[in-house]
Structure 1
Amino acid sequence: MEKVQAELKRNRKDTLNNTNANRELKEGNISEQKLMESEEKFSKAFHSSPTLMAITRIKDGYFIDVNSTYCQVLGYSREELIGNTSLELDLWVNPEQRSKFKKKLEEFKKINAIDVEVRTKSGEILMMLFSGDIIYL
């Protein structure tokens, strides 16, 4: 009888452990699903925005991602931008403006509406308002 009770107790404990493990797996899957949904929302908002948007490294202006509006206005394809820096592509009419923008962004972590002159692929000079936020990838 004691053996049977001990076995039942062990089985009940194993069942509880399995239930807890299943709950943790389910919660993990829910968290993963929420993360995927959040990433999808960001991607759709970023890529369909009528505002020029780019994700670049702050240290050198290396393009990580750009939206189609950015490409259309500046005349570059996505492939021409991603993997290159804004300085390599000679986008900044005055590279000193980039240095100031970078310094302010590093200091304040966010910048809103700074006037910047940008050169398109065809050489046209555009006056634009740049804003930036630091994000960690």
Structure 2
Amino acid sequence: MTTFVELLLGGLSIGSVYALIALGFVVIFKATEVVNFAHASLLLAGGYVTAVLHDDIGFWPALLVGIAGAATVGAAIEFFVMRRYRGSDHSVLAIVTIGVDILLITELTRRMGTDVLALGDPWGNEVVQIGGITLAQTRI
């Protein structure tokens, strides 16, 4: 029974992350009526900035800079790319976001290379035991 509860709580944890990402897609779609295929790339851009800066300035300031960096990249994409196609068919805008996604992924892949970047999260890799249930702190 404890294995079931551990798997259930782990699934709820990762499902919550997926729900937040899906909520981002929904908010963007409701605001613009365009499916933004570059959404995941913008998340990756924020994560990349956080991973690069966390050793120098700490996790929480790096996280704030990563959020601001992703917002800045998103605003720049809106200003320099998306506005040119405003008023076009929604399928054209969706295809443009696919192109933006490819560009962002290519650039981030080029910058990262084969390095594995750690985020330096403050909660570590410890486990918490509550009763007979064992959960990783990252899942809590």
TM-score > 0.5 by shorter chain: no
Q: Greater Rg, structure 1 or structure 2?
A: 1
TM (normalized to structure 1)? Answer: 0.30
Whose strand proportion is higher, 1 or 2? 1
Structure with the larger RCO, 1 or 2 (CA within 8 Å, 6+ apart) = 2
TM (normalized to structure 2)? Answer: 0.30
